[in-house]
Structure 1
Amino acid sequence: MMAPQVKALVEFKAGKMTFDGKMVKPDRRRGIIKIVADQSGMKQFQLLDADTKTQIESFYVFPGDAKFEKVKQSKDRVYLLEFSSTSQRHFYWMQEADKDKDQERATQVHNTLNNIQAAPATQTQAQSQPTTASGQRTGPSMQSQNAQQQPRANANPSQFDDLMSQLLQSMGQGASQFERSPGLANILTTEGMLKLIEENPDVRQALIEQLPEGQQDEQGLKDNILSPQLRQALGSLTQAIQSDQISIILGSLGLDQSVLNNSKDGVEALINALIKRHSKKD
């Protein structure tokens, strides 16, 4: 599958490594790691074949759910992408000729995935980390430690799933009649959402509180519901939910992943998980 031509936020040469339970072994193909964002701002970590430009693997990443750092147990240029919600781990090896910038690249990946804006002093410190005793490789300081000191993107999974539970429970019950669930934009229709906020003051207020400063009123809420950007965001979220990343999405929201066993696809799984959690609270 040829990867779409989207401008990368981060891009450098790196290959994949496989883990056999005891050791990691390099895939000798030349590769490229890229991070791209769609129109709604959702980040995607990609590994491409450097020769054919085909996609080897791709992961949607939610801020705060992943870290990218040096594997300290290895003296080689081995790096790890790890998801906290699912404990999935993916190993890579740097292939750029300039080894001294490995740490800088790793920090850039980690910060970009987590929406971290590093302060100039932090960036300078990260770029000036010492090499190993042999002087052959950059020893990345734990950029994850720096990252933990930076504020993460605003996120409140509990508020989010409570709100989505109410919305999807109100609008998404008909999804089960289809062989494949409709996209979120077809479930959360503009007309349905406007009706819902008019009839339900609690949902209206909860949504208003999620808006950026300067838009936190009823008019701002209506403007956002009517905006094409919301339709695009729902389309991107549907794409992520209907991919093999659904388990990561459920995990990052603290939702029960067992619903995947009884759901025909990702959208139905999300609806079932939100309803299940909401019903437990009731």
Structure 2
Amino acid sequence: MSIPNAEILLAFKAGRAFRREGSSIIEPSPTKGAIYLTNGVEDGLLHFIWRNRVTNDIEEDLILFPFDASFVKVSQSPSGRVYVLKFSSSNQRHFFWMQDASSARDAEFAENVNGLLQDPEYDMRWSDPSASAAGPQASTSTTAQPAESSSTAESTSGFQATPEQLATLSQMLTSMSGRRGAPSATPDLSLIDILTPANLTPLFNSHPELIPALFPHLPPDLPVPPSAEALQRIIHSPQFRAAVANFDQALRTGMLGGLVRTLGLPEEAGAGVGPFLRAIQEQADRERENSMDTD
């Protein structure tokens, strides 16, 4: 099974670790890697995948059933960043160590892994992306919006955007990057602070051709037909904020390199919010230059 043909539920950087022969000592391997939890397209089952980030090869692909596995910190590890995937139905043990530069989100990743291992429909819980950004200046919204309850913010679903939906987002951000006063592509910005009603409404007003382009990507169970008014209601909804937060979190894992290539962006654009926004800006600049050359 290839990762691009699966629904990626969760991804984060992690290397493998191995038990030293004849001892209980766990030794981390220096090889750069990533853990993916996916829903297989062909079998519909939950897969726990380890991919080598140097060769891009999938070196482990484990099919997991609900309540059969858990992802637990190895308390004896000196670094405190080694985890073991263990099974209740067998003596299998697979050891991994977290490779994010900071350990601040280790427990968060482990909690979401365990949630998915218990229930593939688990609504993953994330801390507020804007709160994790550097400094209070990360909040750029100038229009007061209805306060979102903590329970709503915590119950956002896993990132499930398709390439088509990402292409739409790319088109929107490209248009925004061409507007005077558009947010600069700095690493501490959050997409939650960029894709706000205050920013999107002027964008739709100045580029009405974007509105019908978004209709195919609206939820199929809308109570009203797709329209500019329905789109306004959506961008003000907690569900839209949750979807943006999930995409923001997925970008922050640095694991979307393969997916953003489908937008014509370089793989490094999937390494974080800042690189993604810079790549969108560069794409917009190239499109403007090409347009000027053909005038």
Shorter-chain TM-score: what band? 0.3 to 0.5
TM-score of the superposition, structure 1-length normalised? Answer: 0.45
TM-score of the superposition, structure 2-length normalised? Answer: 0.43
